[in-house]
């Protein structure tokens, strides 16, 4: 039972480069989320999706894009990476509102 899988686990980007953080879940969950966690801070919501084809902005969406073409996948795209995007990124998924959110292991991204 894989749960929520994020790739890569670590990545170093140069300023201005682009990359996609992958997130896949095998639990047939409708809801998926992307968060970033800065050092010593809580989780800030970047984007979320309530189902395939539907996405919406969270509190810190600038500099990011997402897509949800299938139930399983919810990739996060960084365009023109900036040092301010250095963070740990978490993907999560859940079913109905009264169940817990399952998290991936996180991706540590450093932009230099």
Question: Min. distance of Cβ 5 from other proteins in angstroms?
Answer: 13
Tokens (6 digits) for 7: 């790739």
Neighbours of 56 (CB within 10 A): 11
86, 63 in Cβ contact below 8 A? no
Stretch that binds other proteins, among 11-19, 69-77, 79-87, 91-99 (CB under 8 A): 91-99
Q: Quick check: helix, strand or coil at residue 85?
A: helix
Query: Which residue from 1, 39, 62, 100 is in contact with other proteins, where contact means CB under 8 A?
Result: 100
User: For residues 71 and 7, what is the distance between their CA atoms, to the nearest angstrom?
Assistant: 17
Q: Could you tell me the smallest distance in angstroms from the CB atom of residue 76 to other proteins?
A: 16
Is 105 a binding residue for other proteins by CB under 8 A? The answer is yes
DSSP β-bridge partners for residue 48: 33, 56
Among 21, 23, 24, 48, binds other proteins (CB under 8 A): 48
C-beta closer to other proteins: residue 58 or 63: 58
Element (H, E) at 28: none
Q: Is 43 in the site for other proteins (CB under 8 A)?
A: yes
β-partners of residue 43 are: 37
Query: Which residues make up the interface to other proteins (CB under 8 A)?
Result: 31, 33, 35, 40-45, 48, 50, 56, 58, 88, 90, 92, 94, 97-98, 100-101, 103, 105-106
């Amino acid at each position: 039972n894989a749960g929520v899988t994020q790739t890569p686990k670590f990545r170093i980007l140069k300023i201005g480069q682009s990359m996609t953080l992958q997130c896949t879940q095998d639990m047939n969950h409708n809801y998926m989320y992307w968060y970033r966690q800065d050092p010593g801070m809580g989780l800030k919501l970047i984007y979320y999706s309530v189902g395939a084809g539907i996405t919406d902005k969270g509190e810190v969406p600038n500099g990011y894009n997402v897509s949800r073409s299938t139930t399983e996948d919810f990739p996060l795209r960084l365009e023109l990476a900036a040092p301010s995007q250095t963070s740990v990124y978490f993907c999560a998924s859940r079913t109905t509102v009264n169940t817990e959110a399952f998290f991936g292991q996180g991706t540590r991204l450093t932009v230099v």
